[in-house]
Chain A
Amino acid sequence: MNWITAAIKELFSLFVDDVRFTIALLIWTGFAILILPRLIPASPWQGILFFAGIALILLGGCRAAAARK
């Protein structure tokens, strides 16, 4: 059983090692997928805004992680 638990933990850790960072990415992705198309229909700004949010999360996540160390 220990082996299975270790494998599940390993699988989870492929995607998550900073929970706040991951939650921020998921919330913004959910917003971009579900809300953005309704706010600005059929516009290339949809993709640009999706990228901009992810870029800001990366900057904020790295800055916060550096401050915590």
Chain B
Amino acid sequence: MDFSALHLNPHMMAVMAAAFLASLVEMVEALTIILAVGVVRGWRPALIGAGAGILALAILLAFFGSLLSTIPIGGLQIVIGILLLLFGMRWLKKAVLRSAGVIALHDETLAFEKERRLLETEGLASGPLDPVAIMTSFKAVLLEGLEVIFIVIATGSAGGMILPATLGAAVALLLVLLLGLLLHRPLANVPENLLKFVVGILLSAFGLFWAGEGAGLNWPGEDWSILGLIAGLTLTALLAVRFAKAQKRGGVTP
């Protein structure tokens, strides 16, 4: 890795922040399931499943990473930009609806209890390995990790910033692993909806910018317009929370 390429600028800081925050949210969700598996079925299958999930993700990352380098940058920016826009706007809309009380907030303690009850009802392992526990742990890492991989590749590749995006995700992984080892319980105090709100704004801003840039659209202020997009999307999302609150009918649905 060429760390000399890391000259910090606002664009790079935003990429690192987006990759770090998004990875943090996904890894906290994966950790909750791994902890439930570990507590109910034992730590050995929980860690075997998580390790296999990480290995599968590494293979996917290597495959798609090398595939991306063969695509021309203009086409790559449009495709990645549109995917990032869809991904970011989905997160942002959900965060807006949660902030407005239209849908319930995600609760890691509840998710942990639900997973724990589910694992307790499954039959115990007959052999030395516990396939139910391994598969649960494996799927949690693979599915949550897929989102992390997409975010790292998408935010990193279109702007030539794979290294800062990977660093952002790696710091999140270390932080979640450390907290998981220290606490041995779900990270319920992470302000998940606020993180999703911020990440939704950042990813949507990158998606908008790169889809437009790839198509040759003109932006006021060129690269600096990404900060304007972040500010504009923040204002729009806050307005959307007010709209959704005003429109809300009835109670909160889970």
Seen from chain A, the residues whose Cβ lies within 8 Å of a Cβ on chain B are 7, 10-11, 14-18, 21-22, 25-26, 29, 32-34, 36-37, 42-48, 50-51, 54-55, 57-59, 61-63, 65-67, 69
Task: Verify A63–B243 contact, CB threshold 8 A.
Answer: yes
Residues of A within 8 A of B7 (CB): none
Task: Verify A55–B102 contact, CB threshold 8 A.
Answer: no
Task: Verify B244–A65 contact, CB threshold 8 A.
Answer: yes
Chain B interface residue count, CB cutoff 8 Å, equals 47
In the bound complex, how far is the Cα of B243 from the Cα of A61, in angstroms?
A: 10
Seen from chain B, the residues whose Cβ lies within 8 Å of a Cβ on chain A are 78, 82-83, 85-87, 89-90, 92-94, 96-97, 100, 102-103, 143, 146-147, 150, 204, 208, 211-212, 215-220, 225, 229, 232-233, 236-237, 239-241, 243-245, 247-250, 253
Task: Verify A54–B218 contact, CB threshold 8 A.
Answer: no
Task: Verify B150–A51 contact, CB threshold 8 A.
Answer: no
Partner of A44 from B102, B220, B239, B247 at Cβ < 8 Å: B220
Interface of B is mostly: helix
Residues of A within 8 A of B90 (CB): 14-18, 21-22
Task: Verify A54–B244 contact, CB threshold 8 A.
Answer: no
Closest to A53 in B: B208
A38 nearest CB across to chain B (Å): 12
